Amino acid sequence: MNILIHPTYFPSISHFVAIAKAEKVTFEMDDNFQKQTNRNRMYIYSPNGIQLLNIPVKHSKEAHQKTRDIRLETAFDWQKQHFKSLEAAYRTSPFFEYYEDALAPIFTKKHEFLMDLNFETIEIVSKCLGLNFEHHKTEEYFKEAPYFTDLRTLANGKKDISILTPYSQVFEEKHGFINNLSILDLLFNEGRYAKEYLLQQELTF
């Protein structure tokens, strides 16, 4: 499977299912930025249930702006807020402390562009998962992509209908199993078994 997919912020589990199962991975670099998508957000399992972590970005006066040109807003410390939220959600999970040192730098490093941040989150998580894959980047935008399995819709969580096999989650006794959160939820709860889990899942698209 040769997939075309967006680089998003600590991508959803379904994103990583696709990457783990793909023979080739090509990242979309030339699309227009769309608000309220996973390009700059992730969902985690907090003590109160599902929680959205959103990255503030600088918006241009231009009607259409390429995702690759989107700059991060640095007026307030969203990174510190995100890491505190992850700690509150996963400090008691089986593998948070195991991966904490690998992930912590992403919340202190000052990126200028959203795309660079997203690629670094994917790179770090892939190393934690023991997932090695060759990837390519697009050089122009095509609305139709007949030579790929086009999974760009996964960046829009509302269009992602993947149903995943339940696994143990920290607060499931309070709120039940929450499907298809950020890959961090799987990593912190399943640790070294996360890669095997990904390979066992089936995507719906």
Q: For residue range 126-181, what is the model confidence (pLDDT) as tens digits?
A: 999 999 998 999 999 999 999 999 999 999 988 888 999 999 999 999 999 999 99
In a domain, 96, yes or no: yes
> Sign of dihedral through CA atoms 106, 194, 186, 7?
positive
Question: The domain containing residue 134 runs over which residues?
Answer: 2-200
Q: How many structural domains comprise the chain?
A: 1
How far does Cα 52 stand from its chain's mean position? 12
| pLDDT recorded at residue 13 | 97
Q: For residue range 25-65, what is the model confidence (pLDDT) as tens digits?
A: 999 999 999 999 999 999 999 999 999 999 999 977 777 89
Task: Decide if pLDDT at 205 tops 70.
Answer: no
In a domain, 45, yes or no: yes
Residue 124 — φ and ψ, nearest 5°? -65, -45
In a domain, 65, yes or no: yes
Q: How far apart are CA 143 and CA 183, in angstroms?
A: 27
In a domain, 150, yes or no: yes
Q: How far apart are CA 151 and CA 27, in angstroms?
A: 10
From the list 82, 81, 110, the residue with the least C-alpha distance to 184 is: 82
Q: How far apart are CA 43 and CA 10, in angstroms?
A: 9
Residue 139 — φ and ψ, nearest 5°? -115, -10
43, 181 in Cβ contact below 8 A?
A: yes
Q: For residue range 50-109, what is the model confidence (pLDDT) as tens digits?
A: 999 999 999 777 778 999 999 999 888 999 999 999 999 999 999 999 999 999 999 999
In a domain, 73, yes or no: yes
In a domain, 21, yes or no: yes
Q: Give the pTM.
A: 0.96
In a domain, 39, yes or no: yes
In a domain, 205, yes or no: no
**Helix extents (H) in the chain:** 13-21, 78-90, 96-103, 114-129, 172-175, 183-190, 194-200
